[in-house]
């Protein structure tokens, strides 16, 4: 059996050969040798993809180096076949190998050259050992059939849009919804499609096959171990002290050991998401430590996470975890804006609603009554957050105390019914239907029916429930439509 090292070496050579052959269809024969040298040597050659356990296994930045080289040739005007056109784009003239027909192509960006290389690789050569080729951040990324098998053993499935792998159908569905802005039905269908896709398997059942399968298992386990190491990385001593509220240890580290929690270049001052000691102490409700870190250590109470895409602040963590006293201290003593938002427009009020901290909700409303009516960048208000968590009690507060809009449709056309249905919140849906039918949600029955209509992706709340397997909710909507109000 070929060893994994030998297999990877052979795969890299084969991919490089495919690119070199494709290049002959793109550049004039007069400069083909030096162009091949450009894409097959040094940093531009095909390499194993490092540091991304959920992506393809080989990559190259050859199109960047090639575009740069050809652009310089065009500027120098040393070749009649290469020039810079009136749009300042690289333009290459070639002749077809059979009939000698003149072909003129422009390549504004390195990614255009990358696409041309991919398009000129014969499909039969790709299917012999590759499962996927795509362009990502100006790189060409290759996924071998073997790597696809390894990922499937990890229960990781590829996104048909970007080629990255995500855990199970749920991971793919959520990725498609958030990253690619697909409708719920499209995301659900894509997740099912990628799970049931047939992965080519070319082994025959010999002893060598058993060793091959064992090597797949070993590589899958190694990738899982690397992924878990990243996910489960323990906190530094300082962050752990802030998390559990140990002021004695924290003071010892800072005042005697010289640990500086404000030094963002020190990896021990943040967790893997960029959360600081102050965020951990606020999230834990340790007010004395919070005051020490701000007053004595000069930590910034308004700073957001450095690495996580949401960019939460200390106030968001305190509100999410229900620590009213810390929230009040941040706003009143540290001048933190009570309606500060994350990168997607989520507020402390939204987090308090989601995790059902009614005291924080009421306090934020007393600070500024406009806060409770805020929407995030997806067009969702706090009622839609409450619909997700399924809390009738929270919805009653939002309706009776704050008079929030229960008729809102977000930018995807989702109503409170879509949000509750996708999470299987049957009791809350009954409450919505009864209250709405009685005109108690600020709507008439006609307006209530609008909220049950398809979203922009054509998916009704009932259809969302069906896709998630909540048949009791499908039956509930069916009874409502038939006028059976016993529900």
Residues 7-36 have pLDDT tens digits of 888 999 999 999 999 999 999 988 999 999
> What pLDDT, on the 0 to 100 scale, is given for residue 115?
93
The pLDDT confidence band at residue 202, using thresholds 50, 70 and 90, is: very low
Express each pLDDT in 421-466 by its tens digit.
Answer: 999 999 999 999 999 988 888 877 677 888 999 988 788 999 888 8
Does 154 have pLDDT greater than 70? yes
Token representation of residue 352: 């308090």
Q: How far apart are CA 331 and CA 416, in angstroms?
A: 31
Q: Is 156 helix (H, G, I), strand (E, B) or coil?
A: strand
176-212 burial string, b = 16+ CB within 10 Å, else e? bbeeeebbbbbbbebbeebeeeeeeeeeeeeeeeeeb
Express each pLDDT in 360-398 by its tens digit.
Answer: 999 999 999 999 999 999 999 999 999 999 999 999 999
CB atoms within 10 A of CB 294: 20
The pLDDT confidence band at residue 232, using thresholds 50, 70 and 90, is: very low
Short-list 361, 356, 353, 299, CA closest to 330:
299
Domain ranges of the chain: 4-154, 380-487
Q: How far apart are CA 248 and CA 479, in angstroms?
A: 61
What is the CATH T-level fold of the domain 380-487, as seen in this structure? 1.25.40
The pTM of the full predicted model, rounded to 2 decimals, is: 0.63
The pLDDT confidence band at residue 196, using thresholds 50, 70 and 90, is: low
Alpha-carbon torsion, ordered 327, 331, 337, 339, to 10 deg: 40
Phi first, then psi, for residue 465 (nearest 5°) are: -65, -40
């Amino acid at each position: 059996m070929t060893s994994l090292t030998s297999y990877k070496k052979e795969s890299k050579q084969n991919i490089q050969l495919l690119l070199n052959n494709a290049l002959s269809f793109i550049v004039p024969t007069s400069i083909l040798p030096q162009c091949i040298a450009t894409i097959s040597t040094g940093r531009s050659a095909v390499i194993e993809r490092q540091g991304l356990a959920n992506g393809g296994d080989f990559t190259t930045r050859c199109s960047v180096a090639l575009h740069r080289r050809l652009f310089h040739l065009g500027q120098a005007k040393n070749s009649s076949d290469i020039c810079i056109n009136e749009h300042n784009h690289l333009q290459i003239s070639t002749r077809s190998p059979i009939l000698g027909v003149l072909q003129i192509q422009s390549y504004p960006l390195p990614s255009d050259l990358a696409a041309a290389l991919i398009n000129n690789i014969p499909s039969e050569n790709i299917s012999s050992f590759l499962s996927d080729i795509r362009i990502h951040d100006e790189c060409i990324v290759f996924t071998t059939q073997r790597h696809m098998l390894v990922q499937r053993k990890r229960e990781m499935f590829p996104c048909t849009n970007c080629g990255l792998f995500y855990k199970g159908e749920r991971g793919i569905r959520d990725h498609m919804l958030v990253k690619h802005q697909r409708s719920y039905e499209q995301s659900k269908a894509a997740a099912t499609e990628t799970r049931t896709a047939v992965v080519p398997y070319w082994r025959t059942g010999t002893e060598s096959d058993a060793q091959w399968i064992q090597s797949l298992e070993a590589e899958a386990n190694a990738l899982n171990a690397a992924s878990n190491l990243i996910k489960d990385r323990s906190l530094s001593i300082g962050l752990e002290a802030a998390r559990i509220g140990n002021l004695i240890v924290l003071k010892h580290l800072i005042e005697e050991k010289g640990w500086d929690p404000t030094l963002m270049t020190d990896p021990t001052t943040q967790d893997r998401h960029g959360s600081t000691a102050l965020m951990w102490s606020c999230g834990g409700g340790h007010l004395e430590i919070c005051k020490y870190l701000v007053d004595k250590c000069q930590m910034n109470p308004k700073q957001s996470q450095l690495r996580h895409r949401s960019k939460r602040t200390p106030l968001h963590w305190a509100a999410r975890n229900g620590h009213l006293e810390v929230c009040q201290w941040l706003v009143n003593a540290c001048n933190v804006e009570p309606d500060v938002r994350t990168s997607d427009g989520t507020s402390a009020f939204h987090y308090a609603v989601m995790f059902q901290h009614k005291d924080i909700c009421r306090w934020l409303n007393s600070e500024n009554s406009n806060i409770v009516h805020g929407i995030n960048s997806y067009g969702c208000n706090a009622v839609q957050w409450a619909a997700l968590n399924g809390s009738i009690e929270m919805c009653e507060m939002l309706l009776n105390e704050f008079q929030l809009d229960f008729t809102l449709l977000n930018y995807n056309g989702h109503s409170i019914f879509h949000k509750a249905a996708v999470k299987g919140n049957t009791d809350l849906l009954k409450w919505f239907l009864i209250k709405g039918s009685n005109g108690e949600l600020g709507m008439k029955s006609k307006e209530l029916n609008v909220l049950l209509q398809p979203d922009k992706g054509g998916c009704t709340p009932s259809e969302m429930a069906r896709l998630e397997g909540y048949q009791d909710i499908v039956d509930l909507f069916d009874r409502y439509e038939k006028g059976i109000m016993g529900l």
